[in-house]
Structure 1
Amino acid sequence: MRNSPVNPTATIGTCTLVGAGPGDPELLTLKAVKAIAKATVLLVDDLVNIAVLEHASPDARIVHVGKRGGCKSTPQTFIEKLMVNETLAGEHVVRLKGGDPFIFGRGGEEIEALREAGIEATVVNGITSGLAGLTALNTPLTHRDHAHGVVFITGHAKPGDEGTDWRQLAQTAHDAKLTLVIYMGISGSEHIQQELLHGLPASTPVVVIQNASLPHQRHAVTTLGDLRSTIEAHQLASPSVIVVGDVVRGVQAAQSRGDIIEPAPAQRAL
Protein backbone atom coordinates (compact mmCIF):
# COMPACT_ATOMS: atom_id res chain seq x y z
CA MET A 1 0.00 0.00 0.00
CA ARG A 2 1.25 3.45 -0.88
CA ASN A 3 -0.55 5.17 1.99
CA SER A 4 -1.63 4.24 5.49
CA PRO A 5 -5.40 4.09 6.09
CA VAL A 6 -6.87 7.15 7.76
CA ASN A 7 -7.96 7.11 11.39
CA PRO A 8 -11.76 6.61 11.20
CA THR A 9 -12.27 9.10 14.06
CA ALA A 10 -10.30 11.89 12.37
CA THR A 11 -12.02 14.74 10.59
CA ILE A 12 -10.86 14.80 6.99
CA GLY A 13 -11.71 16.93 4.02
CA THR A 14 -13.09 15.93 0.64
CA CYS A 15 -11.55 15.15 -2.71
CA THR A 16 -13.25 15.57 -6.07
CA LEU A 17 -11.85 14.74 -9.49
CA VAL A 18 -13.28 17.31 -11.87
CA GLY A 19 -13.20 17.21 -15.66
CA ALA A 20 -12.56 20.73 -16.97
CA GLY A 21 -13.55 19.76 -20.49
CA PRO A 22 -11.63 20.15 -23.74
CA GLY A 23 -10.67 23.81 -23.35
CA ASP A 24 -13.70 26.02 -23.90
CA PRO A 25 -14.61 27.19 -20.36
CA GLU A 26 -18.28 27.43 -21.33
CA LEU A 27 -18.36 23.64 -21.69
CA LEU A 28 -17.98 23.15 -17.93
CA THR A 29 -20.89 21.42 -16.24
CA LEU A 30 -22.80 23.14 -13.45
CA LYS A 31 -21.62 20.43 -11.07
CA ALA A 32 -18.00 21.17 -12.00
CA VAL A 33 -18.48 24.89 -11.35
CA LYS A 34 -19.94 24.15 -7.90
CA ALA A 35 -17.08 21.83 -7.00
CA ILE A 36 -14.46 24.35 -8.11
CA ALA A 37 -16.14 27.13 -6.11
CA LYS A 38 -16.14 24.97 -2.96
CA ALA A 39 -12.49 23.92 -3.22
CA THR A 40 -9.89 25.16 -0.77
CA VAL A 41 -7.08 23.50 -2.75
CA LEU A 42 -7.04 23.02 -6.53
CA LEU A 43 -4.49 20.76 -8.23
CA VAL A 44 -4.56 21.92 -11.85
CA ASP A 45 -3.32 20.22 -15.02
CA ASP A 46 -1.54 22.13 -17.80
CA LEU A 47 -4.33 21.55 -20.32
CA VAL A 48 -6.96 23.27 -18.15
CA ASN A 49 -7.99 26.65 -19.54
CA ILE A 50 -6.94 29.32 -17.05
CA ALA A 51 -10.38 30.93 -17.43
CA VAL A 52 -11.87 27.95 -15.57
CA LEU A 53 -10.15 29.18 -12.41
CA GLU A 54 -12.38 32.27 -12.38
CA HIS A 55 -14.91 30.03 -10.63
CA ALA A 56 -12.50 29.34 -7.76
CA SER A 57 -12.72 31.06 -4.40
CA PRO A 58 -10.21 33.92 -4.02
CA ASP A 59 -9.03 32.16 -0.87
CA ALA A 60 -8.35 28.85 -2.60
CA ARG A 61 -4.78 27.64 -2.95
CA ILE A 62 -3.99 26.79 -6.59
CA VAL A 63 -1.21 24.30 -7.32
CA HIS A 64 -0.24 23.72 -10.95
CA VAL A 65 0.76 20.10 -11.53
CA GLY A 66 1.57 19.93 -15.21
CA LYS A 67 0.77 16.78 -17.19
CA ARG A 68 1.41 17.36 -20.89
CA GLY A 69 2.49 14.71 -23.38
CA GLY A 70 6.03 15.11 -24.68
CA CYS A 71 7.01 17.60 -21.94
CA LYS A 72 8.46 17.34 -18.47
CA SER A 73 5.60 16.49 -16.14
CA THR A 74 4.91 16.41 -12.43
CA PRO A 75 5.34 12.76 -11.32
CA GLN A 76 2.00 11.03 -10.93
CA THR A 77 2.98 9.58 -7.54
CA PHE A 78 3.69 13.10 -6.27
CA ILE A 79 0.27 14.32 -7.41
CA GLU A 80 -1.44 11.40 -5.70
CA LYS A 81 0.48 12.08 -2.48
CA LEU A 82 -0.62 15.72 -2.59
CA MET A 83 -4.24 14.69 -3.07
CA VAL A 84 -4.10 12.33 -0.09
CA ASN A 85 -2.18 14.62 2.25
CA GLU A 86 -4.30 17.70 1.58
CA THR A 87 -7.54 15.75 2.01
CA LEU A 88 -6.36 14.19 5.27
CA ALA A 89 -5.41 17.69 6.44
CA GLY A 90 -9.07 18.71 6.15
CA GLU A 91 -8.96 20.56 2.83
CA HIS A 92 -11.62 20.41 0.13
CA VAL A 93 -9.44 19.24 -2.72
CA VAL A 94 -10.35 19.45 -6.39
CA ARG A 95 -8.13 17.64 -8.86
CA LEU A 96 -8.86 19.66 -12.00
CA LYS A 97 -8.12 17.79 -15.19
CA GLY A 98 -8.48 18.55 -18.89
CA GLY A 99 -11.24 16.62 -20.63
CA ASP A 100 -12.71 13.83 -18.51
CA PRO A 101 -10.90 12.32 -15.50
CA PHE A 102 -11.73 8.78 -16.60
CA ILE A 103 -10.77 9.07 -20.28
CA PHE A 104 -6.97 8.98 -20.44
CA GLY A 105 -6.85 11.29 -17.42
CA ARG A 106 -5.16 8.97 -14.91
CA GLY A 107 -8.31 9.23 -12.81
CA GLY A 108 -8.43 5.51 -12.17
CA GLU A 109 -4.95 5.54 -10.64
CA GLU A 110 -5.84 8.51 -8.45
CA ILE A 111 -9.04 6.91 -7.19
CA GLU A 112 -7.06 3.79 -6.25
CA ALA A 113 -4.46 5.84 -4.34
CA LEU A 114 -7.20 7.68 -2.45
CA ARG A 115 -8.99 4.46 -1.55
CA GLU A 116 -5.77 2.98 -0.22
CA ALA A 117 -5.61 5.97 2.12
CA GLY A 118 -9.22 5.42 3.24
CA ILE A 119 -10.60 8.31 1.19
CA GLU A 120 -13.69 7.95 -0.99
CA ALA A 121 -13.52 10.59 -3.70
CA THR A 122 -16.23 11.78 -6.06
CA VAL A 123 -15.87 12.34 -9.79
CA VAL A 124 -17.42 15.02 -12.00
CA ASN A 125 -17.33 14.17 -15.69
CA GLY A 126 -16.09 16.57 -18.33
CA ILE A 127 -16.50 16.65 -22.10
CA THR A 128 -13.60 14.81 -23.70
CA SER A 129 -11.69 16.34 -26.61
CA GLY A 130 -12.41 13.35 -28.85
CA LEU A 131 -16.07 14.30 -28.77
CA ALA A 132 -15.71 18.08 -28.66
CA GLY A 133 -13.33 18.34 -31.60
CA LEU A 134 -15.58 16.57 -34.09
CA THR A 135 -18.69 18.25 -32.67
CA ALA A 136 -17.09 21.64 -33.38
CA LEU A 137 -17.03 20.51 -37.01
CA ASN A 138 -20.75 19.57 -36.85
CA THR A 139 -19.90 15.93 -37.37
CA PRO A 140 -21.01 12.99 -35.17
CA LEU A 141 -18.86 10.15 -33.88
CA THR A 142 -21.62 7.65 -34.63
CA HIS A 143 -24.11 7.53 -37.47
CA ARG A 144 -26.64 4.85 -38.44
CA ASP A 145 -25.28 4.74 -41.98
CA HIS A 146 -21.56 5.14 -41.32
CA ALA A 147 -20.53 4.11 -37.80
CA HIS A 148 -22.18 1.68 -35.41
CA GLY A 149 -19.86 2.56 -32.54
CA VAL A 150 -16.77 4.44 -31.47
CA VAL A 151 -13.46 3.44 -29.89
CA PHE A 152 -11.48 5.92 -27.79
CA ILE A 153 -7.86 4.76 -27.73
CA THR A 154 -4.48 6.14 -26.79
CA GLY A 155 -1.63 6.30 -29.27
CA HIS A 156 0.89 6.57 -26.44
CA ALA A 157 1.62 3.31 -24.65
CA LYS A 158 2.77 3.07 -21.04
CA PRO A 159 6.57 2.55 -20.84
CA GLY A 160 7.29 -1.16 -21.03
CA ASP A 161 3.86 -1.90 -22.51
CA GLU A 162 3.61 -3.33 -26.02
CA GLY A 163 0.71 -0.99 -26.70
CA THR A 164 -2.24 -1.42 -29.03
CA ASP A 165 -2.44 -4.11 -31.68
CA TRP A 166 -3.34 -1.61 -34.40
CA ARG A 167 -3.68 -4.28 -37.09
CA GLN A 168 -6.31 -6.17 -35.12
CA LEU A 169 -8.09 -2.94 -34.21
CA ALA A 170 -8.16 -1.87 -37.87
CA GLN A 171 -9.75 -5.13 -38.91
CA THR A 172 -12.32 -4.88 -36.13
CA ALA A 173 -13.12 -1.28 -37.05
CA HIS A 174 -13.58 -2.30 -40.68
CA ASP A 175 -15.81 -5.28 -39.90
CA ALA A 176 -17.92 -3.57 -37.23
CA LYS A 177 -18.06 -0.09 -38.85
CA LEU A 178 -16.43 1.74 -35.95
CA THR A 179 -15.01 5.24 -35.63
CA LEU A 180 -11.52 5.35 -34.12
CA VAL A 181 -10.62 8.35 -31.95
CA ILE A 182 -6.91 8.32 -31.21
CA TYR A 183 -5.57 10.47 -28.37
CA MET A 184 -1.87 11.33 -28.02
CA GLY A 185 -1.14 9.86 -31.42
CA ILE A 186 0.79 12.62 -33.18
CA SER A 187 4.30 11.46 -32.26
CA GLY A 188 3.50 7.86 -33.22
CA SER A 189 1.30 8.67 -36.19
CA GLU A 190 3.62 7.13 -38.80
CA HIS A 191 3.62 3.77 -37.01
CA ILE A 192 -0.13 3.95 -36.32
CA GLN A 193 -0.82 4.75 -39.98
CA GLN A 194 1.25 1.86 -41.31
CA GLU A 195 -0.35 -0.62 -38.92
CA LEU A 196 -3.92 0.54 -39.56
CA LEU A 197 -3.36 0.17 -43.30
CA HIS A 198 -3.22 -3.60 -42.77
CA GLY A 199 -6.95 -3.60 -42.00
CA LEU A 200 -8.37 -0.37 -43.42
CA PRO A 201 -8.23 1.01 -46.99
CA ALA A 202 -5.80 3.84 -47.69
CA SER A 203 -8.83 5.87 -48.80
CA THR A 204 -10.40 5.77 -45.30
CA PRO A 205 -11.26 9.37 -44.30
CA VAL A 206 -9.28 10.90 -41.43
CA VAL A 207 -9.35 14.26 -39.68
CA VAL A 208 -6.71 15.55 -37.28
CA ILE A 209 -8.01 18.15 -34.80
CA GLN A 210 -5.70 20.30 -32.71
CA ASN A 211 -6.80 22.38 -29.68
CA ALA A 212 -10.35 21.04 -29.74
CA SER A 213 -13.11 23.55 -28.85
CA LEU A 214 -10.77 26.53 -28.49
CA PRO A 215 -10.90 29.63 -30.72
CA HIS A 216 -7.60 28.55 -32.28
CA GLN A 217 -8.80 25.02 -33.05
CA ARG A 218 -7.21 23.75 -36.26
CA HIS A 219 -7.95 20.67 -38.32
CA ALA A 220 -6.92 18.96 -41.51
CA VAL A 221 -8.94 16.40 -43.44
CA THR A 222 -7.03 13.68 -45.21
CA THR A 223 -7.02 9.93 -45.83
CA LEU A 224 -5.33 7.17 -43.90
CA GLY A 225 -2.82 6.77 -46.70
CA ASP A 226 -1.78 10.42 -46.41
CA LEU A 227 -2.05 10.81 -42.62
CA ARG A 228 1.58 11.37 -41.71
CA SER A 229 2.35 13.63 -44.67
CA THR A 230 -0.71 15.76 -43.84
CA ILE A 231 0.38 16.16 -40.20
CA GLU A 232 3.80 17.29 -41.37
CA ALA A 233 2.46 19.62 -44.09
CA HIS A 234 0.09 21.38 -41.68
CA GLN A 235 2.52 21.19 -38.77
CA LEU A 236 -0.17 19.80 -36.51
CA ALA A 237 1.00 19.12 -32.97
CA SER A 238 -0.23 18.09 -29.55
CA PRO A 239 -2.77 18.34 -28.09
CA SER A 240 -4.56 16.73 -31.02
CA VAL A 241 -6.95 13.89 -31.68
CA ILE A 242 -6.97 11.77 -34.82
CA VAL A 243 -10.40 10.58 -35.96
CA VAL A 244 -10.52 7.70 -38.43
CA GLY A 245 -13.65 6.48 -40.17
CA ASP A 246 -16.46 7.16 -42.58
CA VAL A 247 -18.10 9.75 -40.30
CA VAL A 248 -15.31 12.11 -41.40
CA ARG A 249 -17.07 12.32 -44.75
CA GLY A 250 -19.38 14.77 -42.97
CA VAL A 251 -16.44 17.11 -42.47
CA GLN A 252 -15.46 16.69 -46.11
CA ALA A 253 -19.00 17.54 -47.23
CA ALA A 254 -19.12 20.64 -45.01
CA GLN A 255 -15.80 21.84 -46.42
CA SER A 256 -16.98 21.35 -49.99
CA ARG A 257 -19.96 23.60 -49.16
CA GLY A 258 -17.64 26.17 -47.60
CA ASP A 259 -19.12 25.69 -44.12
CA ILE A 260 -15.72 24.75 -42.68
CA ILE A 261 -12.40 26.20 -43.76
CA GLU A 262 -9.50 23.77 -43.73
CA PRO A 263 -6.22 25.43 -42.68
CA ALA A 264 -3.63 25.93 -45.39
CA PRO A 265 -0.41 23.91 -45.06
CA ALA A 266 2.16 25.71 -42.96
CA GLN A 267 4.82 27.62 -44.86
CA ARG A 268 8.19 26.00 -44.52
CA ALA A 269 11.30 28.10 -44.13
CA LEU A 270 13.55 28.11 -47.18
Structure 2
Amino acid sequence: MSPTARLMDGSALARSIVEQAAKRATALTRQTGQAPCLATVLVGDDPASATYVRMKRARCEKAGIRSRHIALPAETTTAELVGTLTELSDDPTVHGILLQHPVGPHIDERAAFEAIAPEKDVDGVTYHSFATMSFGADGFASCTPGGILRLLDHYDVELAGKHAVVVGRSAILGKPVGMLLLGRNATVTYCHSRTADLASITRQADVLIAAVGRPRLLTGEHIKPGAVVIDAGYNPGNVGDVDFDSASGLASLITPVPGGVGPMTIATLLTQTVDAAARQLKAA
Protein backbone atom coordinates (compact mmCIF):
# COMPACT_ATOMS: atom_id res chain seq x y z
CA MET A 1 0.00 0.00 0.00
CA SER A 2 1.49 3.36 -1.02
CA PRO A 3 1.98 5.92 1.77
CA THR A 4 -0.71 8.60 2.08
CA ALA A 5 0.04 9.83 5.60
CA ARG A 6 1.82 13.09 6.28
CA LEU A 7 4.91 12.64 8.45
CA MET A 8 4.99 14.34 11.84
CA ASP A 9 8.56 15.62 11.96
CA GLY A 10 9.55 15.47 15.60
CA SER A 11 13.17 16.28 14.84
CA ALA A 12 12.41 19.68 13.31
CA LEU A 13 9.96 20.65 16.03
CA ALA A 14 12.37 19.49 18.75
CA ARG A 15 15.13 21.69 17.33
CA SER A 16 12.86 24.71 17.59
CA ILE A 17 11.86 23.85 21.17
CA VAL A 18 15.47 23.31 22.23
CA GLU A 19 16.46 26.65 20.67
CA GLN A 20 13.84 28.37 22.82
CA ALA A 21 15.03 26.48 25.91
CA ALA A 22 18.61 27.54 25.15
CA LYS A 23 17.62 31.21 24.93
CA ARG A 24 15.84 30.97 28.27
CA ALA A 25 18.79 29.14 29.84
CA THR A 26 21.19 31.84 28.66
CA ALA A 27 18.95 34.60 30.02
CA LEU A 28 18.55 32.80 33.34
CA THR A 29 22.31 32.31 33.67
CA ARG A 30 22.88 36.00 32.96
CA GLN A 31 20.26 37.08 35.48
CA THR A 32 21.18 34.75 38.34
CA GLY A 33 24.80 33.77 37.78
CA GLN A 34 23.76 30.11 37.80
CA ALA A 35 23.25 27.92 34.77
CA PRO A 36 20.38 25.40 34.89
CA CYS A 37 21.82 22.04 35.92
CA LEU A 38 20.54 18.56 35.12
CA ALA A 39 21.99 15.66 37.11
CA THR A 40 21.89 12.28 35.36
CA VAL A 41 22.22 9.05 37.32
CA LEU A 42 23.08 5.75 35.66
CA VAL A 43 23.28 2.42 37.46
CA GLY A 44 25.46 -0.21 35.75
CA ASP A 45 26.91 -0.18 32.26
CA ASP A 46 24.04 -1.13 29.97
CA PRO A 47 25.21 0.10 26.53
CA ALA A 48 21.81 1.42 25.43
CA SER A 49 21.27 3.32 28.68
CA ALA A 50 24.78 4.74 28.55
CA THR A 51 24.15 5.93 24.99
CA TYR A 52 20.89 7.62 25.99
CA VAL A 53 22.57 9.42 28.86
CA ARG A 54 25.46 10.62 26.66
CA MET A 55 22.97 11.92 24.11
CA LYS A 56 20.99 13.79 26.75
CA ARG A 57 24.13 15.32 28.24
CA ALA A 58 25.31 16.44 24.80
CA ARG A 59 21.97 18.10 24.15
CA CYS A 60 22.20 19.82 27.53
CA GLU A 61 25.58 21.28 26.66
CA LYS A 62 24.31 22.64 23.34
CA ALA A 63 21.34 24.23 25.12
CA GLY A 64 23.41 25.98 27.78
CA ILE A 65 22.33 23.57 30.50
CA ARG A 66 25.04 22.28 32.79
CA SER A 67 25.05 18.51 33.23
CA ARG A 68 26.38 16.52 36.13
CA HIS A 69 26.69 12.78 35.72
CA ILE A 70 26.77 10.17 38.47
CA ALA A 71 27.74 6.67 37.33
CA LEU A 72 27.00 3.97 39.90
CA PRO A 73 28.15 0.33 39.77
CA ALA A 74 25.68 -2.38 38.79
CA GLU A 75 25.74 -3.80 42.33
CA THR A 76 24.43 -0.55 43.83
CA THR A 77 21.65 -1.26 46.34
CA THR A 78 18.29 0.46 46.59
CA ALA A 79 19.41 2.21 49.76
CA GLU A 80 22.58 3.49 48.12
CA LEU A 81 20.70 4.75 45.07
CA VAL A 82 18.08 6.42 47.25
CA GLY A 83 20.91 8.07 49.19
CA THR A 84 22.45 9.45 46.00
CA LEU A 85 19.14 10.81 44.74
CA THR A 86 18.38 12.35 48.13
CA GLU A 87 21.74 14.14 48.11
CA LEU A 88 21.04 15.52 44.65
CA SER A 89 17.57 16.60 45.76
CA ASP A 90 19.14 18.54 48.63
CA ASP A 91 21.84 20.16 46.45
CA PRO A 92 20.80 23.72 45.53
CA THR A 93 23.13 23.75 42.51
CA VAL A 94 21.17 20.88 40.90
CA HIS A 95 17.82 21.88 39.40
CA GLY A 96 16.69 18.69 37.66
CA ILE A 97 17.33 14.99 38.22
CA LEU A 98 17.11 12.18 35.68
CA LEU A 99 17.43 8.57 36.80
CA GLN A 100 18.05 6.54 33.66
CA HIS A 101 15.72 3.57 33.69
CA PRO A 102 15.38 0.69 33.82
CA VAL A 103 17.67 0.07 36.77
CA GLY A 104 18.77 -3.42 37.80
CA PRO A 105 16.09 -5.94 38.82
CA HIS A 106 17.48 -6.02 42.36
CA ILE A 107 16.63 -2.33 42.84
CA ASP A 108 13.23 -1.02 43.91
CA GLU A 109 12.81 1.44 41.06
CA ARG A 110 9.72 3.06 42.56
CA ALA A 111 11.53 3.74 45.85
CA ALA A 112 14.33 5.33 43.85
CA PHE A 113 11.96 7.53 41.86
CA GLU A 114 10.25 8.71 45.03
CA ALA A 115 13.60 9.89 46.42
CA ILE A 116 13.63 12.63 43.76
CA ALA A 117 12.32 15.94 45.05
CA PRO A 118 9.11 16.87 43.17
CA GLU A 119 10.48 20.27 42.15
CA LYS A 120 13.46 18.52 40.51
CA ASP A 121 11.52 15.67 38.89
CA VAL A 122 11.98 17.00 35.35
CA ASP A 123 11.47 13.50 33.92
CA GLY A 124 8.00 13.31 35.49
CA VAL A 125 8.41 9.90 37.15
CA THR A 126 7.22 10.44 40.73
CA TYR A 127 3.76 9.90 42.17
CA HIS A 128 3.60 13.65 42.78
CA SER A 129 4.28 14.47 39.14
CA PHE A 130 1.69 11.96 37.93
CA ALA A 131 -0.93 13.40 40.27
CA THR A 132 -0.29 17.04 39.38
CA MET A 133 -0.26 16.20 35.67
CA SER A 134 -3.49 14.21 35.96
CA PHE A 135 -5.27 17.03 37.78
CA GLY A 136 -3.92 19.71 35.47
CA ALA A 137 -1.93 21.30 38.28
CA ASP A 138 1.49 22.93 38.13
CA GLY A 139 3.99 20.08 37.85
CA PHE A 140 6.14 18.18 35.39
CA ALA A 141 4.73 15.80 32.80
CA SER A 142 6.44 12.54 31.94
CA CYS A 143 8.74 13.59 29.11
CA THR A 144 7.58 11.28 26.33
CA PRO A 145 3.85 11.94 26.92
CA GLY A 146 4.58 15.65 27.22
CA GLY A 147 6.48 15.54 23.95
CA ILE A 148 3.62 13.70 22.25
CA LEU A 149 1.13 16.40 23.28
CA ARG A 150 3.44 19.10 21.94
CA LEU A 151 3.68 17.23 18.64
CA LEU A 152 -0.10 16.86 18.38
CA ASP A 153 -0.55 20.57 19.11
CA HIS A 154 2.04 21.54 16.49
CA TYR A 155 0.13 19.62 13.84
CA ASP A 156 -3.21 21.08 14.96
CA VAL A 157 -4.69 17.72 15.90
CA GLU A 158 -8.06 18.33 17.51
CA LEU A 159 -8.42 16.19 20.63
CA ALA A 160 -11.66 17.33 22.22
CA GLY A 161 -14.39 14.79 21.57
CA LYS A 162 -12.05 12.44 19.71
CA HIS A 163 -11.49 8.79 20.59
CA ALA A 164 -7.88 8.22 21.61
CA VAL A 165 -6.65 4.65 22.05
CA VAL A 166 -3.45 4.04 24.00
CA VAL A 167 -1.79 0.67 23.52
CA GLY A 168 0.40 0.24 26.59
CA ARG A 169 0.02 1.05 30.28
CA SER A 170 3.50 1.73 31.64
CA ALA A 171 3.83 4.18 34.50
CA ILE A 172 5.98 6.62 32.52
CA LEU A 173 4.36 6.43 29.08
CA GLY A 174 1.04 4.66 28.58
CA LYS A 175 -0.77 5.75 31.73
CA PRO A 176 0.36 9.39 31.74
CA VAL A 177 -0.25 10.01 28.04
CA GLY A 178 -3.80 8.77 28.53
CA MET A 179 -4.31 11.23 31.37
CA LEU A 180 -2.95 14.11 29.29
CA LEU A 181 -5.32 13.20 26.46
CA LEU A 182 -8.21 12.99 28.92
CA GLY A 183 -7.27 16.45 30.15
CA ARG A 184 -7.74 17.67 26.58
CA ASN A 185 -11.29 16.24 26.56
CA ALA A 186 -10.51 13.19 24.43
CA THR A 187 -12.32 9.94 25.17
CA VAL A 188 -9.55 7.55 26.14
CA THR A 189 -9.35 3.76 25.92
CA TYR A 190 -6.36 1.85 27.28
CA CYS A 191 -5.32 -1.44 25.68
CA HIS A 192 -2.65 -3.83 26.89
CA SER A 193 -1.33 -7.38 26.72
CA ARG A 194 -4.59 -8.86 28.00
CA THR A 195 -6.89 -6.90 25.71
CA ALA A 196 -9.06 -9.25 23.67
CA ASP A 197 -9.40 -8.55 19.92
CA LEU A 198 -7.05 -5.61 19.95
CA ALA A 199 -7.67 -4.61 16.33
CA SER A 200 -11.40 -4.16 16.90
CA ILE A 201 -10.61 -1.46 19.46
CA THR A 202 -7.69 0.28 17.77
CA ARG A 203 -9.73 0.60 14.57
CA GLN A 204 -12.06 2.92 16.49
CA ALA A 205 -9.23 5.34 17.29
CA ASP A 206 -9.13 8.84 15.86
CA VAL A 207 -5.76 9.12 17.61
CA LEU A 208 -3.76 5.94 18.18
CA ILE A 209 -0.79 5.93 20.56
CA ALA A 210 1.49 2.88 20.33
CA ALA A 211 3.49 2.55 23.54
CA VAL A 212 3.86 -1.15 24.20
CA GLY A 213 7.47 -1.97 23.31
CA ARG A 214 6.78 -4.73 20.77
CA PRO A 215 8.19 -4.25 17.27
CA ARG A 216 5.61 -3.71 14.52
CA LEU A 217 2.77 -4.94 16.73
CA LEU A 218 0.27 -2.61 15.09
CA THR A 219 -0.27 -3.01 11.35
CA GLY A 220 -2.64 -1.61 8.78
CA GLU A 221 -5.43 -3.87 10.05
CA HIS A 222 -5.31 -1.97 13.36
CA ILE A 223 -5.69 1.50 11.78
CA LYS A 224 -8.87 3.44 11.11
CA PRO A 225 -8.58 5.31 7.78
CA GLY A 226 -7.64 8.90 8.49
CA ALA A 227 -6.41 8.25 12.03
CA VAL A 228 -3.46 10.05 13.59
CA VAL A 229 -0.85 7.45 14.56
CA ILE A 230 1.80 8.19 17.18
CA ASP A 231 4.49 5.52 17.44
CA ALA A 232 6.18 5.92 20.82
CA GLY A 233 7.96 2.57 20.59
CA TYR A 234 11.64 2.11 19.96
CA ASN A 235 13.00 -1.37 19.41
CA PRO A 236 16.32 -2.78 18.17
CA GLY A 237 16.98 -1.97 14.54
CA ASN A 238 15.28 1.45 14.66
CA VAL A 239 11.88 -0.20 14.58
CA GLY A 240 8.79 1.17 16.29
CA ASP A 241 5.66 -0.51 17.62
CA VAL A 242 3.84 0.28 14.36
CA ASP A 243 4.45 -1.37 11.00
CA PHE A 244 5.09 1.89 9.20
CA ASP A 245 4.62 0.64 5.64
CA SER A 246 1.12 -0.72 6.13
CA ALA A 247 -0.03 1.94 8.61
CA SER A 248 1.10 4.91 6.53
CA GLY A 249 -1.26 3.88 3.74
CA LEU A 250 -4.23 4.51 6.03
CA ALA A 251 -3.25 7.17 8.56
CA SER A 252 -3.63 10.90 7.92
CA LEU A 253 -0.64 11.73 10.13
CA ILE A 254 2.04 9.39 11.44
CA THR A 255 5.32 9.67 13.33
CA PRO A 256 8.43 8.04 11.89
CA VAL A 257 10.87 5.95 13.93
CA PRO A 258 13.38 7.40 14.46
CA GLY A 259 12.73 11.13 14.13
CA GLY A 260 9.26 11.33 15.61
CA VAL A 261 8.61 10.97 19.32
CA GLY A 262 12.21 10.43 20.45
CA PRO A 263 13.54 13.95 19.79
CA MET A 264 10.43 15.41 21.42
CA THR A 265 11.16 13.49 24.62
CA ILE A 266 14.58 15.08 24.97
CA ALA A 267 13.25 18.53 24.03
CA THR A 268 10.64 18.24 26.77
CA LEU A 269 13.29 17.15 29.28
CA LEU A 270 15.45 20.19 28.52
CA THR A 271 12.49 22.57 28.61
CA GLN A 272 11.36 21.21 31.96
CA THR A 273 14.90 21.48 33.34
CA VAL A 274 14.97 25.19 32.48
CA ASP A 275 11.48 25.55 33.99
CA ALA A 276 12.68 23.87 37.20
CA ALA A 277 15.77 26.07 37.41
CA ALA A 278 13.73 29.22 36.88
CA ARG A 279 11.35 28.31 39.69
CA GLN A 280 14.07 27.30 42.12
CA LEU A 281 16.34 30.26 41.45
CA LYS A 282 13.40 32.63 41.72
CA ALA A 283 12.44 31.04 45.03
CA ALA A 284 16.04 31.28 46.25
Per the normalisation by structure 2, the TM-score is: 0.36
Per the normalisation by structure 1, the TM-score is: 0.37
* Richer in strand (by share): 1
Higher RCO (C-alpha under 8 Å, 6+ residues apart): 2
* Richer in helix (by share): 2
